[in-house]
Homo-oligomer: A and B are copies of this chain.
């Protein structure tokens, strides 16, 4: 790994652990065992490091969400998407802890973030429509749109919400995956009669998962 990448990953680690505000560029350099001058050789300022982290986030997000081509969507696909997105949020959780501050400080980042949100909205909508096509769920178009927005909302807001509930802010994997349960619960009323069984299976799977990770 190149120094530039090391800086990005080290910064991400420290930001997640202690918050972006408490971590100075000197902390990052010290943690890596490099000089502050060297850090500034690779990045012209702290904000650029944050932008690079965001870039990494976008890349990983898009890789996860790239649709499985022509395959028919199964519920397993859905949950694997959900798993991936929650994992991702976990890896970049400092961003969610400070999102508004970060965006307010950096219009360029704000623009990128909002473009990404649009992509996520489309993706969320497509998934739901596919689920309807496959008769897992049912509902009119407007309902599907609103439901897609709910899903996107839960994904985007879950980490910050949960972290704030927990002493020391240290969220666990179990708490993280309750976000998936929350999405399933929100979709439940729209599951068709014949997929109730599938729903139950999925739900129990995550309940067990959460219990194992308590």
Contact check, A161 vs B157: say whether CB atoms are below 8 A apart.
yes
Residue A209 is within 8 A (CB to CB) of chain B in the complex: no
Residues of chain B lying within 8 A (CB to CB) of residue A161: 153, 156-157
Which A residues, 3 to 52, have Cβ-Cβ distances below 8 Å to chain B? 18-19, 21
A165 to B120, CA, bound (A): 12
- Which of A83-91, A109-117, A126-134 touches B? A109-117
**Nearest-Cβ distance from residue A4 to partner chain B, whole angstroms:** 18
**What does DSSP make chain A's interface, helix, strand, loop or mixed?**
helix
- Which of A60-68, A72-80, A183-191 touches B? A183-191
Residue A101 is within 8 A (CB to CB) of chain B in the complex: yes
Residues of chain B lying within 8 A (CB to CB) of residue A104: 18-19, 97, 169
Residues of chain B lying within 8 A (CB to CB) of residue A19: 100-101, 104
Q: Give the number of residues in A that approach B within 8 Å (Cβ atoms).
A: 36
A123 to B113, CA, bound (A): 35
A114 to B164, CA, bound (A): 8
A189 to B139, CA, bound (A): 11
A117 to B99, CA, bound (A): 21
Contact check, B169 vs A100: say whether CB atoms are below 8 A apart.
yes
8 Å CB contact of A100 from B146, B150, B153, B163: B163
Residue A167 is within 8 A (CB to CB) of chain B in the complex: yes
Nearest B residue to A163 via CB reads B100
List the 5 closest A-B pairs by CB distance, nearest first. Answer: A189-B189, A97-B100, A157-B157, A157-B161, A99-B164
Interface residues of A (CB under 8 A from B): 18-19, 21, 96-101, 103-104, 110, 113-114, 117, 146, 149-150, 153-154, 156-158, 160-161, 163-165, 167, 169, 182, 185-186, 188-190
